[in-house]
Amino acid sequence: MDVERQMQNQESQNHSKTGKPQLVVISAPSGAGKTTICKILAERNPDFRISISATTRPPRKTETDGVDYFFISEEEFLKRVEAGEFLEYENVHGHYYGTLRKNVESLLKQGFTVLFDIDVNGAIKIKKQFPEAILIFIRPPSLEELKKRLRERQTEDPQEIERRLQRLPEEYAKAVLFDYDIVNDDLMATVAQIEDIIRTHQRKEQDHVSN
């Protein structure tokens, strides 16, 4: 199934909407839990949708094309870059990742709050284009806990884990540019905190419109 058809399937699902749609960018070091958090947020809130990124990296055993990512070749990715199809893109750990403009615009038009599961550099690029976007940085409780999570998920070899850990100083340095900085030491508490942040922004915007 091609990327466009997968996007249409994502858009056609039934939903109910609550409040003004928001752009919510969730970034974190690998293993801190951002992907799991985004999935739970979307499951619990029918007016939320995850922006599915395109990537040139191979799918993991547990991943499905068009659900977790749009898995495409580097040649196709770079063609889409030249065509201006990405809101942002980045080379992370040797592979390209990017946010498809058409997907995000379509979800917003339908009234969905859009969740971005992307790296810190992509988050900052989104914020520059959409100053109203909510940027949330997720931290692990500790470096040792992060290493433990990376080892236990068994999706990277030791060399890949080390490459991911080498990005930590850059990621933590850029966290100061985010609107919120949350330590994920309790998954469901973190999810509830993010839900409250989003709903608070929606209420404030609704109050502003009403006044």
Output the pLDDT for position 11: 47
pTM (two decimals) = 0.84
Residue 15 domain flag: no
Residue 3 domain flag: no
CA dihedral 36, 39, 40, 44 (to 10 degrees): 170
Rounded to 10°, the helix 3-11/101-109 angle is: 20
What phi and psi values does residue 186 have, to the nearest 5 degrees? -145, 110
Query: What residues form DSSP beta bridges with 88?
Result: 99
Output the pLDDT for position 156: 73
Q: Is 131 helix (H, G, I), strand (E, B) or coil?
A: coil
Residue 71 domain flag: yes
Output the pLDDT for position 166: 87
Mean pLDDT per segment of 10 residues, for the chain of length 211 residues?
Answer: 53 57 94 93 97 94 92 97 96 91 95 96 95 96 87 78 87 96 96 97 76 57
Query: What residues form DSSP beta bridges with 104?
Result: none
Residue 60 domain flag: yes
DSSP3 helix / strand / coil % (the chain, rounded to 5)? 50, 20, 30
Output the pLDDT for position 75: 97
- Write the burial class of residue 66 (CB in 10 Å: 0-12 exposed, 13-18 middle, 19+ buried): middle
Indicate the residue type of 192: A
Indicate the residue type of 161: I
41 vs 21: CA distance, rounded Å: 14
**Which residue, 203, 39, 26, is CA-closest to 126?**
26
Residue 197 domain flag: yes
Indicate the residue type of 166: Q
Q: Residue 83: left (phi > 0), alpha (psi -120 to 50), or beta? A: alpha
User: Sign of the CA dihedral 66, 67, 73, 78?
Assistant: positive
Query: What CATH number is attached to the domain comprising 146?
Result: 3.40.50.300
Residue 11 domain flag: no
Work out how many domains the chain is built from and give that number: 1
Instruction: Give the residue numbers spanning the domain of 31.
Output: 20-210
Residue 36 domain flag: yes
48 vs 40: CA distance, rounded Å: 10
Residue 4 domain flag: no
CB of 122 closer than 8 Å to CB of 171: no
**Which residue, 135, 181, 174, is CA-closest to 24?**
135
Output the pLDDT for position 13: 47
